[in-house]
């Protein structure tokens, strides 16, 4: 999450909390904010680039026709129009609830600037002062867009069967704004003669099939990237009625789309399509947006120890102001550790919330549960006992133990974090010192008793000691 687009982090003041918490946990702050894709309204293609693509495709079709390889020409194309499946899917091996949101539709108002009209008579599109009106559907990755791209988490698939009539790959794919670069893309002609453009793909991901080869509906064409004029990983999906490219198609049916008599989608998604994209747990605060195009560090983890601070997140798509969101943390026996319910205060295409807790009191499998707009997503995570001997951090010792006032640390590694936890799992103190490292932990303000001291190096290696203060 980063790019020339602007990201806003807003701390919320929400009303009507219904909260149940563990007795040791004060009422937690609910943090939240908005993620805005392409705030700069950067065109996906220049006028010159679009015309060059059209010429390129016409030349390819002429060659295929001359070689008698063009499958869907004027003589044998089907009547009516094709129906599209959704062109995005999560790759196998990943488990977000969903990975995308929509930032813009086709602009049906030919005037400019800021003269906007999408198919639903709204303004979820954009134009520019130079005369560009958005000519496709932009589907961006959410959450953690750059990490998703680097991990090839979200794939572009053929929305309808057809023939490859053009492709391009190998272009720079970490664009953060307008640059006149070429995009990586593939172009598919369908049985009715229409042509779909799939743009901004990740370099090296475009299918190895050749121009002239056939693809089936749902076949993987590549991975979402940020090549060409782009402010972050997204798919630009653009459709024309035929190979003349004179008539743009907005596949959505709506009051302000005067071209379509019906939808070109097999199942048209709602204009406002609220969704819980992910409910996750993390070992550190993941809501940090590095400078474009650096990938996010998400700190995703499902395994924690008693006393660990656990960050819990919820990522929403198409949040609607005034609608209810509920969050719960359930213990292994399904008793409620924490519960809250509140009405959202903002309408946004992508919004996040996060909480943090450090007083989990039972070992076992816990549930993090988010409910929004009739959908519930449950994420499982584990709380384990503190480990007395972890072999990850070598050559470290402490003394004296038992002690009265302080613990000295001897280590060949730089110890950058120390955490003292009591037998109930409550954190007594946490010390950070990245620049100089930690050589001593004071216990002067700590009551006599038995504790666990966890030491962590700058490479995230840990070791936990049982200590006694007398």
pLDDT of residue 44 exceeding 90, the answer is: yes
Same domain, 137 and 199: yes
Residues 341, 280 share a domain: yes
Structure-token match 């062109």, residue found? 87
pLDDT in tens, 196-255: 999 999 999 999 999 999 999 999 999 999 999 999 999 999 999 999 999 999 999 999
- Higher-confidence residue: 422 or 426? 422
CA distances from 44 to 217, 246, 403, 458 (A): 25, 19, 65, 41
Same domain, 80 and 217: yes
Omega cis (within 30) before 400: yes
Query: What does the pLDDT read at residue 159?
Result: 98
Q: Residues 382-401: pLDDT tens digits? A: 998 766 555 567 788 999 99
Residue 262 lies in a domain: no
- Give strand ranges (E) for 297-439: 303-305, 310-319, 324-330, 336-343, 348-357, 364-372, 375-384, 396-399, 406-411, 415-422, 427-432
Percentage of residues in the chain with pLDDT exceeding 70? 91
Three-class secondary structure of residue 177 per DSSP: strand
pLDDT score at 21: 38
- Structural domain includes residue 256: no
**Residue 76: its pLDDT value, please?**
66
Weakest mean pLDDT among 39-48, 68-77, 141-150:
68-77
What per-residue confidence (pLDDT) applies to 386? 66
The C-alpha atoms of residue 381 and residue 378 are separated, in whole angstroms, by: 10
Give per-residue pLDDT as tens, 425-436.
677 888 988 788
41 lies in a domain?
no
Rounded percentage of the chain residues whose pLDDT exceeds 90? 75
Residue 26: band (very low, low, confident or very high) from pLDDT cuts 50, 70, 90: low
Same-domain status, 349 and 440:
no
Please tell me whether residues 208 and 295 are part of one structural domain: no
**Is the pTM higher than 0.85?**
no
Which has more pLDDT, 344 or 17? Answer: 344
Q: Which residue has the higher pLDDT, 359 or 324?
A: 324
Radius of gyration over every alpha carbon of the chain, rounded to an integer in angstroms? 27
pLDDT for position 389 = 52
Indicate if the pLDDT at residue 365 is higher than 80.
yes
* Same-domain check for residues 24 and 111: no
pLDDT greater than 50 at residue 185:
yes
Instruction: Tell me, yes or no, whether 42 lies in a domain.
Output: no
- Predicted confidence (pLDDT) per residue in 285-306, tens digit: 999 888 999 999 999 999 999 8
Q: Mark whether 380 and 345 lie in a shared domain.
A: yes
The pLDDT assigned to 428 comes to: 86
Per-residue model confidence (pLDDT) at position 327: 98
Residue 459 lies in a domain: yes
**Does residue 15 register a pLDDT over 70?**
no
pLDDT tens-digit map of 96-105: 999 999 999 9
- Residue 300 is part of which domain span? 7-36+273-384
Per-residue pLDDT band for 263 (boundaries 50, 70, 90) equals very high
Residue showing tokens 């496709």 = 136
**What pLDDT, on the 0 to 100 scale, is given for residue 451?**
87
68, 164: one domain: yes
The pLDDT, as a whole number, for residue 19 is 35
- pLDDT beyond 90 at 461: no
Higher pLDDT, 8 or 363: 363
Same domain as 61, residue 210: yes
Whether residue 204 sits in one domain with residue 142 = yes
* Residue in 93, 84, 77 with CA at minimum distance from that of residue 152: 93
| Among 338, 358, 384, residue at a domain's last position | 384
pLDDT(412) > 50: yes
Answer whether 311's CB lies under 8 Å from 284's CB: yes
d(CA 374, CA 444): 52
Flag whether 142 is in a domain: yes
Last residue of a domain, one of 328, 357, 384: 384
The last residue of one of the domains, among 359, 384, 409, is 384
């Amino acid at each position: 999450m980063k790019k020339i687009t602007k990201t806003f982090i807003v701390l919320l003041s929400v009303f009507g909390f219904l909260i149940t918490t563990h007795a040791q946990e004060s009422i937690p702050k609910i943090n939240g904010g908005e993620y805005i894709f392409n705030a700069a309204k950067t065109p996906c293609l220049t006028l010159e680039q679009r015309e060059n693509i059209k010429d390129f495709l016409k030349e390819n079709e002429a060659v295929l026709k001359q070689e008698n390889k063009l499958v869907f020409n004027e003589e044998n194309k089907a009547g009516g129009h094709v129906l599209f499946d959704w062109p995005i899917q999560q790759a196998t091996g990943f488990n977000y609830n969903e990975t995308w949101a929509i930032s813009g539709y086709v602009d049906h108002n030919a005037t400019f600037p800021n003269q906007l009209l999408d198919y639903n008579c709204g303004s979820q599109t954009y134009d520019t002062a130079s005369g560009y009106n958005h000519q496709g559907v932009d589907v961006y990755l959410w959450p953690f867009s750059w990490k998703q791209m680097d991990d090839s988490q979200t794939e572009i698939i053929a929305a309808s069967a057809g023939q490859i009539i053009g492709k391009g790959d190998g272009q720079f794919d970490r664009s953060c704004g307008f640059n006149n670069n070429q995009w990586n893309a593939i172009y598919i002609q369908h049985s009715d003669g229409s042509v779909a453009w799939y743009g901004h793909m990740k370099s090296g991901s475009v299918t190895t099939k050749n121009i002239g080869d056939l693809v089936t509906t749902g076949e993987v064409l590549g991975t979402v990237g940020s090549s060409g004029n782009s402010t972050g990983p997204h798919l630009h999906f653009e459709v024309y009625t035929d190979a003349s490219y004179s008539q743009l198609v907005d596949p959505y049916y709506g009051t302000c789309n005067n071209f379509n008599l019906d939808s070109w989608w097999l199942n048209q998604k709602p204009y406002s399509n609220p969704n819980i994209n992910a409910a996750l747990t993390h070992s550190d605060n993941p809501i940090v947006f590095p400078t474009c195009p650096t990938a996010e560090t998400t700190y995703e983890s499902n395994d924690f120890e008693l006393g660990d601070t656990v960050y819990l997140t919820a990522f929403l798509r198409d949040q609607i102001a005034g609608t209810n969101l509920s969050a719960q943390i359930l213990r292994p026996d399904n008793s409620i550790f924490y519960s809250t319910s509140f009405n959202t205060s903002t309408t946004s295409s992508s919004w996040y919330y996060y909480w943090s807790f450090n007083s989990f009191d039972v070992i076992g499998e816990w549930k993090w549960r988010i409910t929004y707009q009739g959908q519930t997503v449950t994420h499982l995570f584990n709380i384990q006992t503190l480990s007395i001997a972890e072999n990850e951090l070598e050559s470290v010792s402490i003394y004296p133990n038992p002690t009265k006032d302080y613990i000295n640390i001897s280590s060949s590694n730089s110890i950058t974090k120390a955490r003292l936890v009591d037998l109930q799992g409550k954190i007594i103190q946490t010390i950070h010192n990245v620049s100089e490292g930690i050589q001593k932990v004071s216990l002067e303000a700590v009551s006599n008793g038995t504790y666990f001291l966890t030491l962590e190096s700058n490479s995230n290696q840990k070791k936990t000691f049982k200590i006694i203060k007398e």
